[in-house]
Amino acid sequence: AQKVTQAQTEISVVEKEDVTLDCVYETRDTTYYLFWYKQPPSGELVFLIRRNSFDEQNEISGRYSWNFQKSTSSFNFTITASQVVDSAVYFCSLSGTYKYIFGTGTRLKVLA
């Protein structure tokens, strides 16, 4: 069975703090893809990053970074020096063989 767990329902931080959003997945597929999406208060879902199961290199994009570890089946997302505009719900997602699974999301509140 495929599953994505985002154990953190809601996180509040003060602006400029670093924050890590956790994502743990389960799959039997050997080839799969992991994604992060952002849903700001306006409601649209925006793609942030994709990783395939054979690429464990961490990635950094500006203040965003992602840590993929197959050994722990985790794909965590870190925001450095958070800003109020980062306030949103963040979803981790897994796609495998004809399966597309989303986690329940983590609501991040960045306080000024």
Partner 1 sequence: DAGVIQSPRHEVTEMGQEVTLRCKPISGHNSLFWYRQTMMRGLELLIYFNNNVPIDDSGMPEDRFSAKMPNASFSTLKIQPSEPRDSAVYFCASILRAVDEQFFGPGTRLTVL
**Which range binds partner 1 by CB under 8 A, 20-28, 58-66, 71-79, 101-109?**
101-109
Q: Which is nearer to partner 1, 17 or 55 (CB)?
A: 55
d(CA 95, CA 70): 15
| Residue pointed to by tokens 């063989």 | 97
Size of site (CB under 8 A) for partner 1: 20
Q: Given the DSSP bridges, would you call strands 19-21 and 74-79 parallel, antiparallel or unpaired?
A: antiparallel
Site for partner 1 contains 101 (CB under 8 A) = yes
Q: What are the structure tokens assigned to 31, written together? A: 């080839």
Site for partner 1 contains 61 (CB under 8 A) = no
- In the complex, the smallest distance separating the C-beta of residue 94 from partner 1, rounded to whole angstroms, is 12
Q: What are the structure tokens assigned to 75, written together? A: 């794909």
The site string for partner 1 over 26-55 (x = CB under 8 A, - otherwise) reads: -------x-x-x-----xxxxx--x-x---
Query: Residues 77, 12, 16, 112: what is their CA dihedral angle, to the nearest 10 degrees?
Result: 140
Q: Which residue in 45, 44, 39, 32 sits closest to 94, CA to CA?
A: 32
Q: Which is nearer to partner 1, 82 or 93 (CB)?
A: 93
User: Residues in the site for partner 1, rule: CB under 8 A?
Assistant: 33, 35, 37, 43-47, 50, 52, 91, 95, 98-105
